[in-house]
Structure 1
Amino acid sequence: MTTLNRRTLLGASAAGISAVALTACGGGSGAGPGGGGTTGGKSGDAKADYMKAEGNNFGGSISWGSWANPGEAKRFNEYAASFKQKYGTDVKFQVVSGDYASKIQTQLVGNAAPDVFYVGDNMMAKLVENNALVEIGEYMKSSASRSPFDQHLTNLLDWCQPKGDGKFYGMTVDCNPATFWFNQDLLQEAGYGDDPAKRFEGGAWTQEAVDELFTKVTAKGKKAHVLESGYGHWLSWMTTFGGKPWADNGDCQIDKDDACMKAIEWMWGHLDKGTMTYGGSLPKGQGVDALFYAKQLATIPYGRWILPNLKELKFNYDIAPYPTIDGKEIMPTVVYVAAMGVNAKAKNVDLAKAFTAIYTGVEGEKARLAGGGNAVPAVKGLENLVEEDNPPLPKHAKTFNDLAGKGYAIPLKIANNAVVASNLGTVVDKWIKAKVSAADFGKKLTTYINTGKES
């Protein structure tokens, strides 16, 4: 995948949310030509009401935009063509390249944004605040929806209702759970014995087991694991070891939660010993995924997006859940997500809702992910897609589904504060490079997430 990949867009907290600090979005319509029904973002009359549409002849036209590497763009265009063949709707797909959030902002302000478009997990709250998205939860929960709400993995949808009032402004298009990938060859060379997947199956994939892995690999002159500044990396280690970062009211309580603080101390201990490497200290231009591909890194906590590249390489790899205290169960870890939202200025809002429901539902996800997809279904009923290779790649591909069902998307306390969502990765990078203590890191992190201000 190119540099502009799912990890870059969904996993980096410093993704520039300031780019979507929208000014007032003026009147007018989206970029795509409208197709029948009403215009100007208002719901149609009975004849154009796709909440009540019967049959497959939607007709009309709609525009849709997202980020995409060349392979994804090819598949998206194929989906647009198949949608037209089935539903009679002319779908115009456009790749929004470069700084995605900034480009969408410019298009929205200029009344040139697509009728429907991808929304990054750190973009949603600000777009809703600026009335740039249409509420689609009512439609998704209605009997008219061709993608019933209860088909979706609802554990990944909190960030799509930023007001917490049950109103949804997007639906997940698919997902990518943080997964413990490992190079089996490097582990064997290090004399590690049973790999993480086998240890998990035996109920012995514990903190002590991963300590042993990091130590033995490092002793052989290879890197064992890289910690990065994006929220998904350090937060997953906290929750897999039993931490509860969020109070009942949603506030961050990392510095008051014993398990979270022990997890930070554990990470800092490995960084101090060199058995874990900090990503911000890698030589300029040296990517973490590239190290894994080059057989210089034994483990990597990424999603399914790296699988297409791994299929081209010649070494043995597999996946496991993160290790846990008891070594037996799967604990919640981060699942990277994006959503599709409906432009409030879409020329035909009803048609846009219908397209979004189908695109994000079983039918759309199957069309986009079957045959070598680089993501995991975010709906029920398509679990077999991650195991469609014969034999499955990786061997324990089923773990993707287990992690998606148990995990969580971007926490609301991060997602709903534009300052935090924009700058969290940057301030974490600064603190780690300054070698703040584990105790101070926990305090600083809690204060920053809760207030947007550095202590």
Structure 2
Amino acid sequence: MTQQRESISRIASAALSRRSLLRGTAAVGLSGAAAAVLAACSNDNNPLGDAETVEATWSLWGDTALLKRHEEFNDKLNADQKAVRARFIGLPTDGYAKKITAEITAGNAPDVFLAGDTLLGQLVASKQLAELGPLLDGPLSKSKTDAFNRSLFAPGTDAEGKIFGVPAACNPMLMWFNQGVLESVGVTESPADRYAAGTWSLEYFQTLVDKVHAGKKRAFVFSNWNGELYPWITAAGGKIFDGGRFVAHEDQKTVGAIKWLRDQLAAEKAWYASALPQGQGADAMFAGDQLAFTVTGRWVVPVYRQAKTLKTDVVGLPSADGKPAPTIVLASWMVVNKSAKNVEAAFRILTEYVSREGQEFILQGEGGAAIPSINGADQAVLGANYPAHAQTFIDLRDIGYTSTTEEARVPGLSSLIFKPLDKYFTEGGDLPGIMAEMGQKVNDAVKRGSV
């Protein structure tokens, strides 16, 4: 687990090994049910009104298995409709954003492609993408805007609220708990029951942390990037950005949440991920009953299911008042190149891909990795029957937020936040002073539009 992530784009790119939003889906062969799913989402009519089939290209990153799954999606799409001849161009994870940017500059980028938040923010700012709002709510669409949590569009919208990117399969960050570790220290009540009752509070969570510590184990682990740090902040009622400004240094709930995390490290009640013993990862320690809690996404399902003795389930993070609190939702976005020869043809590929049927097809049978970004495809998550409270993923997606617009638009902005915090988490120090300096630098960079 790396020490920081500057963007969800880098998370998804570097992360096909662990944090890919769709990791491993291609390894599952196409079933008759899967074929029927995609067939149902298409028809032989030509909604573009063209006399001849129009070709459009689309692209995303991935490993061999993931790209194979998307080639199968492309073949099925072409078999089930005549309006657009889709041509899929799979690209390696490494260097994906750089390659797409170069192709846009050269005028030969794909008509449709997947973008992480930083690439998305840059392309929105430079007006390189087609506006999607009218198309999403038009007659060609199978992915209306009201079928998504509108907050997930944030990095792909401009100052006027126009939409340029549509969230694909995503990952709400939530808390996994190890019931076996909790029972070993005398805790028999499931955190999931507390969460359902609205009494899963930070105050109560501290009592569990203390009991696990008394039992000679670490209670939880966290890492210093937006996917793992921001959920702790917003669960405590804090803010990072507000109204286009970085406000974390002024928000006492945010400062308090960061200080609380450092206090748990200092008391040896928690692990800081970058300081884990050599050769030990957080997932392995959790699955091996060495940790009671960990904050992560759904991509760990295959790993945790293989741990035969692991008794685990999920909850949202403990909040100030015990009620469910918003968490960050990791995502990437499908976009349409403004220079596409036929924007409507390109949109047809996009809307098929992010539709309920399209996302079910991509995710079906794999039992982990990600959840659909669109409403109505819940079975792709719940059908695996793991973990028991998998509905929590859906619930948190619907109340969650995604990468901040400011961090998406200003490359490297996240480093101004996470670099000083890394030093604080490892060495301690004057947190108000660290935060004040951070706030000044971050807001200056936002105003300039560069770090």
TM-score using structure 2 length: 0.82
- Evaluate the alpha carbon distance shift between residue 62 and residue 436 of structure 1 in structure 2; reply closer, same or farther with a 3 A threshold: farther
Task: Name the counterpart of 1:239.
Answer: 234
The SS at the match of 2:321 is coil
SS, match of residue 256 in structure 1: coil
Helix, strand or coil at the partner of 2:118:
coil
Aligned to 1:183: 178
Aligned residue identity for 1:137: G
Which of 389, 392, 396 is matched with 1:396 structurally?
389
2:285 is the alignment partner of 1:291: yes
Matched residue type, 2:203: E
Change (3 A) 1:63 1:235: same
1:84-135 C-alpha deviation (Å, 9 max, x unpaired): 1112424324133313323333333444433221111222111223333222
Residues 306 and 417 (structure 1), Cα distance of their counterparts in 2 relative to 1, 3 Å cut: same
Q: What letter matches 1:375 in structure 2?
A: A
Which of 123, 128, 147 is 2:124 aligned to? 128
Gaps of 5+ in 2: 15-44
Q: CA deviation at 1:254?
A: 1.7
Corresponding residue for residue 428 of structure 1: 421
The count of corresponding residues between Structure 1 and Structure 2 is 412
Instruction: Find the partner of 1:114 among 94, 110, 117.
Output: 110
Q: Take 2:67 and 2:298, find their aligned partners in 1: how far apart are those partners?
A: 18
| AA aligned opposite 2:273 | G
Q: 1:116·1:343 contact (CA, 8 Å) conserved in 2?
A: yes
Picking from 334, 358, 366, the partner of 2:360 is 366
Q: Deviations over 1:119-155 (max 9, x none)?
A: 1122211122333322222211223323222112212
Q: Which moved more, 1:280-289 or 1:163-172?
A: 280-289
Tell me the equivalent position of 1:256.
250
Q: Give CA-to-partner distance per residue, 1:186-227, whole Å, 9 cap, x none.
A: 222232221311222233311122212222323334332222
Tell me the equivalent position of 1:443. Answer: 436
Partner of 1:10: 8
Gaps of 5+ in 1: 17-49
1:196-275 map, 5 Å: 196-247=191-242, 249-275=243-269
The answer to whether the 8 A contact 1:13-1:122 is kept is no
Work out which of the residue numbers 181, 189, 193 in structure 2 matches 1:194: 189
Q: CA deviation at 1:452?
A: 3.1
Q: Which residue of 2 aligns with 1:415?
A: 408
Match of 2:38 in 1: none
Residue 164 of structure 1: aligned partner: 159
Which residue in 1 is equivalent to 2:379? 384
CA-CA distance at 1:373 after TM superposition: 4.7
Worse-matched range after superposition: 330-339 or 227-236: 227-236
Q: Do 2:191 and 2:200's aligned partners in 1 also have CA atoms closer than 8 Å?
A: yes
Paired position in structure 2 for 1:72: 66
- TM-score, normalisation: structure 1: 0.81
Q: C-alpha displacement at 1:70, in angstroms?
A: 4.2
8 A contact 2:180–2:311 mirrored in 1: yes
Per-residue deviation at 1:383?
2.3
The reply to whether residue 155 of structure 1 matches residue 155 of structure 2 is no
Give the secondary-structure state (helix, strand or coil) at the position aligned to 1:75.
helix
Q: Secondary structure at the match of 1:225?
A: strand
**Residues 402, 441 of structure 1: CA spacing in aligned structure 2 closer, same or farther, 3 A cutoff?**
farther
CA RMSD across the alignment? 3.1
Letter in 2 for 1:211: Q
Q: State the one-letter code of the partner of 1:165.
A: E
Q: 1:335 and 2:329 equivalent?
A: yes
What do the CA deviations read for 1:277-326 (whole angstroms, capped 9, x no partner)?
Answer: 21222345643333333433322211111112222221111001111122
Question: Contact between 1:138 and 1:167, CA under 8 Å: does it hold in 2?
Answer: no
Alpha-carbon distance in 2 for matches of 1:120, 1:451:
24
Partner amino acid, structure 1, of 2:336: V
Shift in Å, 1:11: 7.9
Cα 1:338–1:316 change in 2 (3 A) is same
Q: Once structures 1 and 2 are overlaid, which stretch shifts more, 414-423 or 191-200?
A: 414-423
Q: 1:293 to 1:347 in 2, by over 3 A?
A: farther
Distance 1:300 1:72, change over 3 A: farther
1:183 Cα deviation after fit: 1.7
Contact 1:243 1:260 in 2 (8 A): yes
Report the residue type matching 1:338 in the other structure.
S
Aligned with residue 399 of structure 2, among 394, 406, 409: 406
Match of 1:34 in 2: none
Q: 2:137 aligns with which of 141, 148, 151?
A: 141
303 and 124 in structure 1: CA distance in 2 versus 1, 3 angstrom threshold: same
- C-alpha distance in 2 between matches for 1:51 and 1:244: 47
**1:312 maps to amino acid:** Q
In structure 2, what is the Cα distance between the partners aligned to 1:233 and 1:449?
20
Whichever residue aligns with residue 137 of structure 2, its letter is: K
